[in-house]
Structure 1
Amino acid sequence: MTDQLAPRPHKAGLKRQFLLLIVVIYLITGAAALGVFMLVVGNITQQLGEDFAAQYALRQRDRILAPIQRELALSLKLADSPLLKRWAQDEHNPDLEVAALAELDSYRRHFADRSFFIVPEASRHFYFNDAANAYHGREQGHTLNPDLPTDSWYFATMTQEADFNLNVNYDTPLNIYKLWFNVVIREGDKKLGVGGTGLELDRFIQDVLQEDHPGVSTVLLDQDGVIKAHRNRAYIDINAVAKLDTERKTLFQLLNLSDQQAQLRKQMTRLAAGQAPFVVLPLTVEGQPYLAAIAYLDEVRWFTVVLVDIASVYSSWQFAPLALLLALSLLTLATALILLLNRLVLNPLARLHHSAQAMATGDYQQQAMVEVDNELGELTLAFNQMAHTVRQHTGHLEQLVDERTIALRQANDQLADAHRQLMDSIEYAQLIQQSLLPRPEPLARALGEHFIIWRPRNIVGGDFYYCREDTRGCLLLLADCTGHGVPGAFMTMAVSTVLHYIAGEMGIVDPVRLLQALNQRVRDALHQQGAGEGGENGLDAGVCWQPAGERKLIFAGARLDFYYCDPGGEGVRVRGDARDIGYRRSAPDATFTAHLIDLPPGRTVYLATDGLFDQAGGRKGLGFGRQRFQQVLQDCGAHPLAAQRERLEQALADWQGDHLQRDDITVIGFRPAGAASDERF
């Protein structure tokens, strides 16, 4: 049967209703958009100011460091000259004096300011020459007097622990303001004097602190907040190195708020400790609010502070055209919407009403409430009639789809939960495996300067290392266990337990005896004493033992080699024995070869698993190889260990390219303390 249609209410103008609704929506949307716009503009201005200040501070840091680093490096090299050290101890030797002044003049020609100075401690004579070579032949000037305030910079420099300081000072005899690079000349623990150069202060400020943006100023501070450079010379603390803390001019004195002073000190401490490359914070300097970006110049232990007046750099009025464009866009959108509704909705509704009635062929149950008598109301009636018929044909299908969707969702949730549990277990296993490795602090005490690259192919792996130090010396072992991933990790835990028993409980530290004991114990632990079913499991290992206080090292290896490199020399490979450890095929009474390695000063030693050498890369996908590894050692063997690690990782990354990691990779490099000094290892 046919359902009774709902009674038709009073017919109202749909076009007028839409017009009124759009006007109301436009006003509400415009007000909300204006508020959000102003809020966004404020946030954008603040963020742009912070980004601008940070980038400006980093740029200024690089601009400032370039000339200072160059002059400081040359000054340090001057102070390290063997000839100048000999002359400083035998100043009256005419041959030494001629040679020393010639070498100083060579440095003068390379300094940016074309000037040098040097003060031997034995005589305290001040030697100087400038860019015009005006003092040639009479470089020796006045003699420094500890009772004269103008000479206090020298005696303050000689009493400090640092190798150098940068001091802004006015030299009365020379009548010049300069940024002086004061470098202490040492022969061992003995201070022979002070030497270096200087940069003309006004020129330094003009070249380095010249700003190319209005509302921006740069200040240079030392670690105590003392102002070292400023566009206004009145703010610069002259000869700060010889002043008491209460007499120095600092940026803290220009801050109006005590909490900002404390915050500035805190952030400077963080930057000096290397905890952040820069910081941005608000400061009120002499009553004027600024956004301050601070970066640390580690090489000279200075800070560059960029003070940005955001109102001068970014003004809210700059966004006025955008606000006007937004308002016009909303108005255009509202006008277009009215026209489109009239053309695309209201007029077609009349035609759709007749088409919908023609398509209604059955008895339909009313579903939608008809509240208005207009074209939309007529369309709703027709839709209700069609929906009744469609519901009969699609109701069962929708039920089946819903049931299947629920089943698939449940299966997917179960699969996701299982995957999550598996990953949680593997990640927890990673924490357990990492806890078996030596911590950085004991490693640093035992090995001295060192680096470790430990890179499992998966989250966990089969490579691990062990280090133990006692009064007898230091023991280091690197092992590559069968497999990688979870199976390899299980092997590392089993081998680690056996190793702790051998080295700790049994007290075996001799590399040969330790490998023999490790072979027997692992075979026993894995029940691989004879022929039988089951997989072959074992490990490759390299062991180093350095007796306490001796400049030598004993190495023994089982399919794992030892490498060392002297400064300027080639990488040398010491082969381990071609014998397995812990496998069923391993001989229970296998013996290993002990290699005695001398540790001359500067020698660096290395252990690496075969995952490094087998890593595929290059155009043909070949292994990284031992020759390439030894070439890297030869290229950077004299560098600090941290730099060596970066160089090796970069070489491996360049070689690997897009190839996947094939195996677990571990490399250990260290420069034994006994190879660098006479102190106890």
Structure 2
Amino acid sequence: MSSSIREVNVMAANLGLRGKSVLALLVACLLALIPASLIGWKAVDEVRRHFATAYAEQYTLLQMQRITAPVSRELALSRRFANSVVTREWLRQPEDPERRERFFAEAEGFRQQFGSNAYFIIDHATHDYYFADQRDAEPSPRYRLDAGESQDAWYFAAMASTSTYNIDVSHDRKLDRSMLWVNVKVRDNGELLGLAGGALDLENYLSRVIRTGAPGLTSMIVDPRGILQAHPDQSRLALGSNSHPFEADSQQHIQSLVDNAQQREALRQAMQAVVRRPGDIRGLEVEIDGEHRLLSVGYVPELQWLLVTTLDMQAAPLFEGRWFWPLLGALLLTLAILTGAFAYAAHRLILSPLKRLTLSAQAITHGDYSLPLPAERHDEIGELSQAFSHMARQVEDHTRNLASQVRERTHELETAHTAMAVAHKQLGDSIQYASIIQRAILPDAQLRQHLGADHAILWKPRDTVGGDFYVFRATPSGYLIGVIDCAGHGVPGALMTMLARAIIDNAIAHEGADDPAAILNEIDHQSRQLLPEAQLPSSIATNMDIGLAWVEPNAGRLTYAGAKLDLYASDGHHVDCIKGSKRALGHRRPIRYSNRHVPIHPGWSYYLCSDGFLDQAGGEHGFGFGNRRFERLLTTLAAEALDDQIKAFGSALDDYRGDHPQRDDITLLIFCVTSAGDEPPSSPLSPSQT
């Protein structure tokens, strides 16, 4: 799908404006055709449904007339036959020869008028059953009805009912006839004498009324109980239904044809409605054998029957398809004409003037401003031409002045660049000189002289110069070693280190090298006097983070005091941390710093680092290096040589930092004590505070 879209986009990009405009028209027409087609299809479907409903209702009315006509005629003849004086006189005295002869002569005349050329009569007194048709007109009983036989129960049920007649569809097994029987009671002064009437051959009746052959239509006859009396499938007929009870879900019940229970209830209500209002036709949509059907119900009160018609809208010829293809051809022809007219109008009104503008623009690019522009039109193209002409004159004027302006500006830029290069070189030389001066104050020579391989230093200013440095002072009884992190970076931080170095030297001279806490308190006091907070802007920070350790190798003791810097110790298995104070020197709320005394562990390494190492951003999310990662490195590297440790710390920091810039100045100082006095305990450090 995405490749098809890319191909369409490439094809559209390669088209000219004419092709794009025609393509846009076609796309717009197609986009308009989609909802129009949906709306049209919906409208056609609604019209088709309306025609189908009307067609089904009219067909049902027609079928009701076709049903009523032959049965009504048969019922009228049957009533005349049953109410005839001759018939009643013979049933009074069936053994009287004269009456018998007169009756059968008159019955023969009725037989010839009945639809199937057949009649029947039953003597209620003897229960003798007479039947005559054109094949056999013998005036003798065919058989005698027996109340004990189930196949004769219809007669006794009919005679027990209050109706003067009934119509029954049944198969007489004794006569081997399937007929539509019109049963009319013969009465004389209220006395029941018998039952008489005509019959319609069921096969002929179904062929003429039910099996009409109309495509998509199926007609059925049911009684008010819903029992099928006539159906194209004779296996569903309820033969002898007047004398037998039927369940609603039996195969001879119309509701058994409907799949959905809710639709069966709707059919039942429709049947009740047409029985209450004869002449009305009720329609509903149902599912029969899993297929959608439109069902119409009508009531024939003369026969007390309901006619049910089902319509398959897919099979019924509601619409003819011969109009579809001409309509589609006319639509495509109209679309082609519109597209051609649009393309011609776009070329004449838009593309041709734009082509002239394009030629003028190409001439201007080659320095030819003499080509006239099409400015005679008074529409948007004319306005564009006028604007383009004005632009061309402006371009021509600017082009004439551009060369001299470029030369002047080029000279100015070259002069400025030369001055900037000189200033940059002076600034770089100054900073480089400052770096040399700052390195000169670092006690690297003293550390090599007194500690040798027992110390290692990682010192990485963020810029050429920085605000971190370290101190070392040796005495006969021990030495003072520490790391100082001044606020600020670059040149300001470097200047702070010069001032801090002078203050520290003064504090050591005043308090001595063997009391780190006293030195910190003195540094804090002197820095507040030299840099009073009230006289400085709030944006300038003068605080310092310091960690100082007094090491007495012969006594086997180390004294530590820190301002926001901690002293770490590790042998590769254990990591101990001697905490410093949580406030830096120069904090707006001064405190008194105190010493912490710990025994020296021979073979252990001691670490002092500025927060530039621990706060360096890196990793996937840009978080700081952190104390936990630093302590894990201690346990990994503490047993190695100090120079190897420094290299490993630097590599680990660079790997973690990745593409992130260095955030702060970084200082890491490692030292160990090899000449101790008594053997110290191997348990973790347990500092004491003074």
Q: Which of the five TM-score ranges fits, normalised by the shorter chain?
A: 0.3 to 0.5
Higher relative contact order (CA 8 A, sep 6+): 1
Give the TM-score normalised by structure 1. Answer: 0.46
Give the TM-score normalised by structure 2. Answer: 0.46
